[in-house]
DNA sequence: CGAGTTTGACCAGCGC
DNA sequence: GCGCTGGTCAAACTCG
């Protein structure tokens, strides 16, 4: 499997700083996004007009169903001390969000290399682990289907790319010719660009 | 043949 | 200390 470099020649690359493009109507973030800073401070960022169910979604994100309420903390705690080769690995910028999509892996424009796949607790679906395949880029991504609602895909980005997007995501000017999921992907790309500070 | 995927094994952290 | 769990490694495999 490889990412399409340009699925549609009649493209327009959108860079909307205000992030208020009309096709956001098609993109379901479930109004949820986690933003974990390097210092360990964790913030729950919610899209505007987020319904009260967003907190429930946060529990789902971590496979926590017991109502422990520590979803965010768990998310942060896990990798703050992970060190394989003696180096002090910083958790880096980390963002997790849930999207409704038929496809598992969103094409966010970067090139990812899969390095692991695991069954996780409270989720019948496998979790997939990806690394950015660009040399020297240590950004990681985890992708899993929501254990309670397989229609949703939970994507977690960890780190910030130290390079430019190798292949931009393009889209046609005509919505009707494009699959809805691809619209979601493009929206995702914009979202990633919004949340990931430029190197 | 090189790049990417699969998958079992291994390792470290955490809770009990 | 032990078992469980999540994350990563790496050899084998697949595909273009």
Instruction: Note the CA–C1' distance, A6 to B6, in angstroms.
Output: 27
Domain membership of residue A83 (yes or no) is no
The number of distinct structural domains making up chain A is 1
Instruction: Note the CA–C1' distance, A84 to C11, in angstroms.
Output: 20
Taking only the tens place, the pLDDT of each residue in A171-199 is 444 444 445 555 556 666 666 665 555 54
Domain membership of residue A85 (yes or no) is no
The residue range of the domain holding A101 is: 94-165
- Region A12-26: mean pLDDT is 38
Domain membership of residue A192 (yes or no) is no
Please state whether strand C lies within 7 Å of residue A127 at its CB atom: yes
**Does residue A47 have a pLDDT over 60?**
no
Domain membership of residue A102 (yes or no) is yes
This prediction's pTM: 0.65
Tell me the HSE value of A64 on the side-chain side, using a 13 A CA sphere: 16
Q: What is the pLDDT of residue A130?
A: 92
């Amino acid at each position: 499997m490889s990412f399409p470099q340009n699925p549609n020649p009649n493209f327009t690359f959108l860079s909307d700083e205000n992030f208020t493009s009309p096709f956001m109507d098609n993109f379901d973030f479930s109004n949820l996004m986690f933003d974990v800073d390097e210092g360990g401070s964790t913030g729950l960022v919610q899209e505007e007009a987020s319904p009260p169910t967003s907190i429930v979604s946060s529990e789902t994100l971590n496979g926590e169903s017991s109502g422990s309420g520590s979803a965010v903390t768990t998310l942060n705690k896990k990798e703050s001390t992970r060190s394989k080769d003696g180096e002090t690995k910083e958790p880096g910028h980390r963002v997790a969000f849930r999207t409704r999509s038929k496809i598992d892996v969103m094409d966010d424009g970067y090139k990812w290399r899969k390095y692991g796949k695991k069954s996780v607790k409270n989720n019948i679906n496998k979790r997939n682990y990806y690394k950015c395949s660009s040399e020297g880029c240590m950004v990681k991504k985890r992708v899993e289907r929501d254990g309670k609602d397989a229609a949703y895909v939970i994507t977690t980005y960890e780190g910030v790319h130290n390079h430019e997007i190798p292949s931009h995501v393009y889209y046609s000017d005509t919505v009707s010719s494009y699959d809805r999921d691809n619209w979601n992907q493009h929206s995702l790309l914009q979202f990633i660009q919004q949340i990931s500070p430029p190197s």
